[in-house]
Amino acid sequence: MSALKRALSLIAPDELVALTRELVRIPSVVRPGDPNANEAAVAAHVEAWMRAHGLTVELQSVAPGRPNVLGILGEPQGDGRTLLLEGHTDVVTEGDPAAWTHPPFGADLVDGKIYGRGAADMKSGLAAAMVATAAIARSEAPLAGRLVVGALVDEEGDMIGVKHLCTTPIGRSLSAAIICEPEQNELCLEQRGVVWARVTARGRMAHGAMPETGANPIRALAALVADAPRLERRLRSLCARSRYLKPPTVTPTVIAAPVAGVPQSNVIPATAQATLDVRLTPGPDAAAVAKELDDACRRAADASPGVTIEWAPVNGFRIATKVDRDEPLVRAMVRAVRQATGRPARWGGVPGSTDGTILRMELGIPIVTCGPGHRLIPHQVDEHVEVAELVDAARIYVAAALAYLTA
């Protein structure tokens, strides 16, 4: 039997379904201020599972109660390849549980689907990566390199888990990564980027009855928001068109005035703030995008005498990413999809940014996003994953890891 066939035969679908359900049943919504609402419990479960399945475990303490858990198989050798199968342990809020048909942390298994918060995003992808790595370990297939399965914290927040990973020896040793996010098992070589531009307008406080004695920052912000479609058109002309990504968008999401102090109907506030959610496709670098935002702020300020406008990115820039189809990882995955599913690879694109964005930006390594679950289901009520897709994902990861690490 070939190494691949043997490793594939060691994926037990029942075990994969059970692990996914166990992970979903451990709530891991992060609630700042609540020391018990973090990834600690699910990370402990992941760690115990990895140890029980023969993986070497590295724990990285990112923040109190928030460890990255890495399961490691093999040693770097030959050309030094280290492949990461990447997942995250945090999930977004379940919202109102009464809105769910299936309890958000019940992991109900109905008609071939597992329901719950994180079922798609992304405890299923993480479970598939863990089971795939364990199957390769049990198969004793020789690896020309090292396979790492990573369960990172805080993907849904500031991405402190992956940022921490990038500063560690094992992070710096990575040569490629598969991001196991829900993309219907399509191979996504492109991810949209994002910058949250927090814009602050500063004017002069005055009485609402005598606006001529002040400088109203709200008018300036209104001008900027009204000008957002123009900024969007500019970015669309700068960014590359993509078959797999929606074009850039500029969306005002937060607006506040006054920024501090008590709002009063007869007081023109000194400051006003807005956030623009700017989504990008590959092309311009951060400086080129920043220049467009600078220009938009300047236009709005020019139209508002006495008001200054500045902006700053919240959580830095996450530029759009793209990798080439000629990358060894991509070629390995194309082959893997056919070997694992009997079907040709389907291509897709990631609508938002992921931990992969940081790996690509910080380490420059190729990433491919591919995992089980419908692309649009994350963060919705009755989130679910199809078992058939989950099993396919584990098979694809096995075949991809073997192809990439025995090439």
Q: Which is nearer to Zn ion, 181 or 183 (CB)?
A: 181
Give me the least distance between CB of 263 and Zn ion, in Å please.
36
Interacting residue with Zn ion among 10, 26, 42, 122 (CB under 5 A): 122
Interacting residue with Zn ion among 47, 58, 86, 121 (CB under 5 A): 121
Coil, helix or strand at residue 167: coil
Cα gap 128→106, rounded to integer Å: 19
Q: Which is nearer to Zn ion, 181 or 190 (CB)?
A: 181
Interface with Zn ion: number of residues (CB under 5 A):
3
Cα dihedral 345, 400, 72, 357, rounded to 10, equals -40
Provide the pairing of β-strand 347-350 with 187-191.
parallel
Q: Which is nearer to Zn ion, 68 or 304 (CB)?
A: 68
End-to-end CA distance of the chain: 19
Contact 399, 4 (CB under 8 A): yes
Q: Which is nearer to Zn ion, 58 or 155 (CB)?
A: 155
Q: Which is nearer to Zn ion, 232 or 383 (CB)?
A: 383
Question: Which token pair is 247?
Answer: 């074009």
Cα gap 24→28, rounded to integer Å: 9
Contact 16, 131 (CB under 8 A): yes
What character string, x for contact with Zn ion (CB under 5 A) and - otherwise, covers 74-113? ----------------------------------------
Site for Zn ion in 169-208 (CB under 5 A): 181
Note whether 159 binds Zn ion by CB under 5 A.
no
Question: Which token pair is 261?
Answer: 């102090």
| Interacting span for Zn ion (CB under 5 A) from 101-109, 116-124, 211-219, 332-340 | 116-124
Cα gap 33→235, rounded to integer Å: 38
Give me the least distance between CB of 294 and Zn ion, in Å please.
32
Q: Which is nearer to Zn ion, 119 or 199 (CB)?
A: 119
Residues contributing to the site for Zn ion (CB under 5 A):
121-122, 181
